[in-house]
Structure 1
Amino acid sequence: MSEFSLSKLWEREEGAMESCYKLYTWINHTLLMLLLQIFWKMSQISDYFKEKRGMIQRCGHKLPPIKSFISLGGQHQGVYGLPHCMAVSHKTCDYIRELLNYAAYQRWLQLSLVQATYWHDPLSEEEYKRKSIFLADINNELTINETYRSNLQKLESFVMVKFDRDSMVQPRESEWFGFYKPGQASQLQTLQQSKIYTEDRLGLQAMDRAGKLAFLSQPGDHLQFDETWFIDNIINKYLV
């Protein structure tokens, strides 16, 4: 698959229809390739669900209607840790995480490394909000973009699947739009306790009250689920 820079695409003119369709085509091609291998445990797939939501919010008004958004292990509030490295219980992992904080919000790294764009440091919330070129933007952290809110609320269903023993995502609550409480990295808060929800910065509170949000879980590690569960709980319920 050819290289493609999301960050460069985001920086083009907001009204460029061509950019939206290029993004739409690229993400869907990527997801198709990954979905074809989903039962072979392609763990990279969850990284694309944040980008898919970004496409809906930024370009949804220029694209055909999208009824349901299914997120399998997508980190909607970002990550603050390394895969298979639970920093809360391992000092070495916590040290590496602190080192990453010095580089993650550098402009050159944000523009060149997709993973840096969803690094969310709860100890430096203001820096994250100012310098994260992707996650902070699509989550309406600094300012409320009404286009993002409007496009997301056009969905009939926003389904988030969390994996209860996920060792790839830290914190795993990010898969349900939860995260650490600001200012520390031990206590967690749910989506409903966050400012994104209480201030309804993305319209998620309105969607929740309308019954459009679904929080599903699976007991295994990252993307560990069987075909029967996927067909019964995802395809038959939300995609047929």
Structure 2
Amino acid sequence: MILTQVVSLLLVSSAVAAPSQALLGSSGPRPLVIWHGLGDTAHSKGMDQFADYVRDEFPGIFVHAIVAPNEGSPRDEQKAGWWGIGEELSQGGCDQIKDIPELADGFDAIGFSQGGLFLRWYAQYCDGPRIKNLITFGTPHFGIAALIPCPDPPTLTCTLAARAAKAGIYTRWAQSHLIQAQYYRDPARMQEFLEQNTFLRDLNGEGGVDQGGGSGREDGGRGLGGLENVVAIAFRDDTTVVPGLSAHWATMDPDNSSHIIPLEEQELYSGDFIGLKRLDKRGGLHRPFCPGEHMDLGGEGGCGDRLVRKWVGWPL
């Protein structure tokens, strides 16, 4: 979702507040990387306002917004959110981060909606500096079972992508050209998903092991168990992501779409495919809710404001 529509709900406070987590040492607060959502750009009005808000809250913090593709124009960025290959776009973010000296000692990261999936790819597969706290707002971690609606009025890029996706979501063409198709996980078509999908399937370790019997990208790379904290935020009234609780790794029951299966009842958790169970047991997996629709952060003092203040700005 375009953050320009969201930041007006997360007003920048005129008061400069120090992080409540701990007194900052001489090294200052941890750097922060942010990755925008579908249809947005790294330096849209909304994203720049959000970055400024973080800088006001945590004096001295270094904030970097991912430009994807690298050195792309705003038009290139908007197109890349709909068309492309998820792994390649994520690898571009990996390469970008590795070239930034301020991030060399690690950083926290915030992913807005779709952007959270690309940051997860970074956390699980990139050989660059490590993410410490990963915070995602409305990210479809366990996929979508319906296409995300186009904006009103719809853009040509979105309209064409939606038409192409409806023609065959699990075709090889769609899986190698349409970003949404690469995290489209229909519980009633799991065999097709497992055979044709690579991006989301491998992020969640649902692809098994490689032919030689060893573990690799097929089973989630490093997984998420090594992070300090994963803060996966869902929106209670989310109708943009279907199901909305995908943000908490929940999924639809293939036999009853009104029944949502929570993470704890899935093999992903019991088998600890990507370290979520391990992370949960040591208190590092957090699944809070924000009220309202997708990316409704609630304004100054609202849900998004409180969560950013809680999880960002820790001492490096």
Contact 2:142 2:250 in 1 (8 A): yes
Q: Which of 302, 306, 309 is 1:232 aligned to?
A: 306
* Greater C-alpha radius of gyration: 2
Quote the residue 1:50 is aligned against.
117
Task: Indicate yes or no: 2:224 matched with 1:152.
Answer: yes
Quote the residue 1:173 is aligned against.
245
Partners of 1:129 and 1:237 lie apart in 2 by: 34
Partners of 2:95 and 2:216 lie apart in 1 by: 24
Partners of 1:6 and 1:227 lie apart in 2 by: 36
Quote the residue 2:270 is aligned against.
198
- Cα deviation, residue 58, structure 1: 1.2
- Cα deviation, residue 185, structure 1: 2.6
Partners of 1:111 and 1:220 lie apart in 2 by: 33
Q: Tell me the TM-score normalised to structure 1 length.
A: 0.74
- Cα deviation, residue 74, structure 1: 0.1
Change (3 A) 1:130 1:27: farther
Q: Which of 80, 93, 98 is 1:23 aligned to?
A: 93
Local SS of the residue matching 2:286: strand
Quote the residue 1:9 is aligned against.
88
Contact 1:70 1:158 in 2 (8 A): yes
- Cα deviation, residue 102, structure 1: 6.2
Contact 1:84 1:167 in 2 (8 A): no
Quote the residue 1:16 is aligned against.
none
- Cα deviation, residue 193, structure 1: 0.7
- Cα deviation, residue 219, structure 1: 1.3
Partners of 1:151 and 1:219 lie apart in 2 by: 29
Quote the residue 2:44 is aligned against.
none
- Cα deviation, residue 153, structure 1: 1.6
Alignment gaps of 5+ in structure 1:
11-18, 29-37, 39-43, 86-96
Change (3 A) 1:8 1:159: closer
- Cα deviation, residue 26, structure 1: 5.7
Task: Indicate yes or no: 2:192 matched with 1:127.
Answer: yes
Q: Tell me the TM-score normalised to structure 2 length.
A: 0.57
Partners of 2:251 and 2:312 lie apart in 1 by: 26
- Cα deviation, residue 7, structure 1: 4.2
Local SS of the residue matching 1:67: strand
Partners of 2:95 and 2:239 lie apart in 1 by: 31
Aligned positions, number: 203
Question: Larger % of helix: which?
Answer: 1
Alignment gaps of 5+ in structure 2:
1-73, 99-109, 151-161, 210-214
Change (3 A) 1:70 1:179: same
Contact 1:8 1:111 in 2 (8 A): no
Contact 1:157 1:238 in 2 (8 A): no
Local SS of the residue matching 2:170: coil
Give a deviation string over 1:103-129, Cα, whole Å, max 9, x none.
111111111110110111111112111
- Cα deviation, residue 160, structure 1: 0.7
Contact 1:77 1:178 in 2 (8 A): yes
Partners of 1:104 and 1:185 lie apart in 2 by: 19
Once the two structures are overlaid, the 10-residue window that deviates more, 177-186 or 129-138, is 177-186
Partners of 1:221 and 1:74 lie apart in 2 by: 13
Give a deviation string over 1:52-97, Cα, whole Å, max 9, x none.
10121111xx111211100100001101124469xxxxxxxxxxx9
Partners of 1:176 and 1:239 lie apart in 2 by: 24
- Cα deviation, residue 133, structure 1: 2.1
